[in-house]
Amino acid sequence: MSALGLNPVQYEAVRYLDGPALVLAGAGSGKTRVITQKIAYLIGECGYSARRIVALTFTNKAAKEMQERVQGLLDKRLTKGLTISTFHSLGLKILREEAEYAGLKPRFSIMDANDTLGIIQELLATTDKGRLRAVQQDISLWKNALLSPDAAAQAVQTPSQAESAKVYRSYDETLRAYQAVDFDDLIRLPAQLLATNEEVRQRWQARVHYLLVDEYQDTNACQYRLVQLLVGDRAMFTAVGDDDQAIYAWRGATVENLHQLTVDYPQLKLIKLEQNYRSSQRILEAANHVIGHNPVVFGKKLWSDLGIGEPIKIKDCDDEQAEAQWVGISLSAEKFERKAKWGDFAVLYRSNQQARLIEQQLRELRIPYVMSGGQSFFDKAEIRDILAYLRLIANPDDDPAFIRAATTPRRGIGQTTLTQLGEVAVAHQLSMFEAIALVHLTGRLADRQVKTLQVFAEFITRMRQKAEQTGKAAAAVLDELLAAIDYERYLYDVFDDKPALARWQKVLELLDWLKSKAGFDEMSLLDLSQHGALITMLERNEKDEDTDAVHLSTLHAAKGLEYKHVFLIGVEEGLLPHLGRDDEDIPVGQEEIVLTQRIQEERRLMYVGITRAQRSLRVSWCKRRRRAKEYTVREKSRFIAEMGLAESAIVEAAQAHMSPKERLTMLKDLLKS
């Protein structure tokens, strides 16, 4: 090991500055250490200004961890101005500063997934949630591929895509009218702007002297293009990724971006991190065997010096109920036998639906648990209500925010009033907020309705005048806002006491977080409105990691995490690998290609699941599984055979249903053994 605590290959990755570099980092190989040590090396030894370094990742949590690690390596004064953020946060920063060139007002709105789904629902005039989400997905994929509505219309391959392309055009026009962007636009619009505006491009290339990108295998075409435009001809960057952990094709990510780097940058330095610091050799061998069935892009093989490790155990169960019982009893027994903590264990699965029976079983056995990949804090209705006010204060032209704020809490502005106001807005090409000044001239609304609208508009205008204040002043404005709308009373009017209290506590939590942001980062209420829209999980959720509880998580949500002991459940054909919906609209003649690509991605997901385990791994599957009201026969996943376990695996006997008394007896027997 080097003086920096790096192995020779990690050390090489940190020190290489002769051009672009691709660090192929296998699971548990220390990629975050490489990135943070490289940032410290650039600043501390190479004379780079922190203001000229940008590190990009995909989650706020990952960005925060990197920031903390860098600050632990360098004097805090040296890190001032360093940008470590998500792609979306950087895109927002670019759009804020270059709003004029992007055709946006400085205080544009950011639409979340629920907002955009509402717009699509209005355009399609349907309540079919499946169809709405399919159209939303199509539009998102087109944006991620940098396709305009015109280009998307040319690229359609199925009748459903043709309908989506028509909606895309109207959807795009609606967002422009609202002076709003969606999450995909936060990357698409900066990429388009940098590509078409030389002045803006040169300005940002001058600001980014070195770029580091984490999880490069998860980038889409739009993100790849943004990276290219930021680094320019200098091409001073390090991309870190793992082709074997590319599991987000469904949201537009393409593993081909790793290979494309070698084409676009012939001088690219390839460095492979193959030593794993997480798992036993037996677990790594199983992972290597599985992923070895996929086509080789670069080729690497993980190894560990942590010892051979425990045998991997395979469990076949009669059905999902028996599987849940086995998980619960095994957790209880293993915690006792290993003298472990509940937090040492994780149960991983392909679909959120699999968690229901596991939750029931853990509650019955009084085993504490936390869930990952659940509802975002910012998706909760009470949080969206408060943020709607902030969005409207920041951008009065944000019609979705106007509608939500004007009607929650109720203040006498009903659907009839909004419909009439909307018609006036459309007729005069105004936002609904602006249309309030004209609606009285139309005679469409009673004086009482007009007065109610005017009072609301005056309130928003007053709050807007105060919203530029920062720090403690911003906190005071927040308190004034909540007091004025009397949101607590509204909750108790609408809900029973207990749920009302729970919702109000969430609102108070949001306010505390906003106030801390306003104080620490000297942000105004207007800044906070945009910042809040970007965060998918409040920092408070990180406290859950300190809770001594079993972790329940989808395989997608578990990526990047590790646990001492892992239960990987439901490893059967049709579930893992998941083969798609029966009614899926696949282009004619593309069925075999799509299936092959899907199996390869699912195999990478299996690889991710296996490599979450440090010391022990148990894999289970069910012989039958309930679908609707009937049981269907299931087959063991091909991935189990691909693990190549042979004699190293312990195949446990089939688990059948047990009565509560039988479960108790079994648990006692396990504890005695």
Alpha helices in 308-370, H assignment, sequence order:
320-338, 355-364
Q: What tokens were used for 577?
A: 């690998």
Cα separation, 367 vs 342, in Å, equals 8
In the sheet that holds 21-25, the strands lie side by side as: 83-86, 53-57, 210-213, 237-241, 21-25, 269-273
- Cα–Cα nearest to 394, from 465, 491, 340: 465
Q: Are 308 and 281 in contact (CB under 8 A)?
A: yes
Select which of 67, 219, 245, 611 is catalytic.
245
Q: Are 33 and 239 in contact (CB under 8 A)?
A: no
Q: Is the dihedral of CA 586, 589, 594, 596 positive or negative?
A: positive
Select which of 98, 112, 184, 215 is catalytic.
215
Three-state DSSP at 618 gives strand
Q: What tokens were used for 122?
A: 């209005």
Cα separation, 304 vs 327, in Å, equals 28
Cα separation, 104 vs 287, in Å, equals 48
Which H or E run contains 571? Answer: none
Select which of 31, 278, 391, 404 is catalytic.
31
Beta-ladder partners of 240:
23
Q: Are 232 and 226 in contact (CB under 8 A)?
A: no
Cα separation, 305 vs 325, in Å, equals 35
Q: For this structure, is 454 an active site residue?
A: no
| Cβ burial, residue 614 (10 Å; 0-12/13-18/19+) | buried
Which H or E run contains 625? Answer: strand 624-627
Q: For this structure, is 214 an active site residue?
A: yes
Three-state DSSP at 242 gives coil
- Cα–Cα nearest to 436, from 463, 462, 411, 456: 456
What residues have CB less than 8 Å from 36, skipping those under 6 apart?
A: 66, 69, 70, 73
Select which of 98, 214, 243, 319 is catalytic.
214
Cα separation, 186 vs 87, in Å, equals 8
Three-state DSSP at 83 gives strand
Which H or E run contains 393? Answer: helix 381-394
Cα separation, 367 vs 20, in Å, equals 49
Cα separation, 598 vs 471, in Å, equals 50
What residues have CB less than 8 Å from 426, skipping those under 6 apart?
A: none
Select which of 391, 603, 612, 663 is catalytic.
612
Burial code (b: 16+ CB inside 10 Å, e: under 16) for 522-554 equals: ebbbbbbbbbbbbbbbbeeeeeeeeeebbbbbb
Cα separation, 472 vs 525, in Å, equals 11
- Cα–Cα nearest to 296, from 484, 88, 24, 49: 24
Cα separation, 247 vs 89, in Å, equals 22
Q: What tokens were used for 327?
A: 């998980």
> How many Cβ atoms are within 10 Å of 269's Cβ, its own excluded?
16
Q: Are 226 and 191 in contact (CB under 8 A)?
A: yes
Q: For this structure, is 612 an active site residue?
A: yes
Percent helix / strand / coil, the chain, rounded to 5? 60, 15, 30
Q: For this structure, is 166 an active site residue?
A: no
**Which residue do the tokens 């300190």 mark?**
546
| Positions marked catalytic | 31-32, 214-215, 245, 612
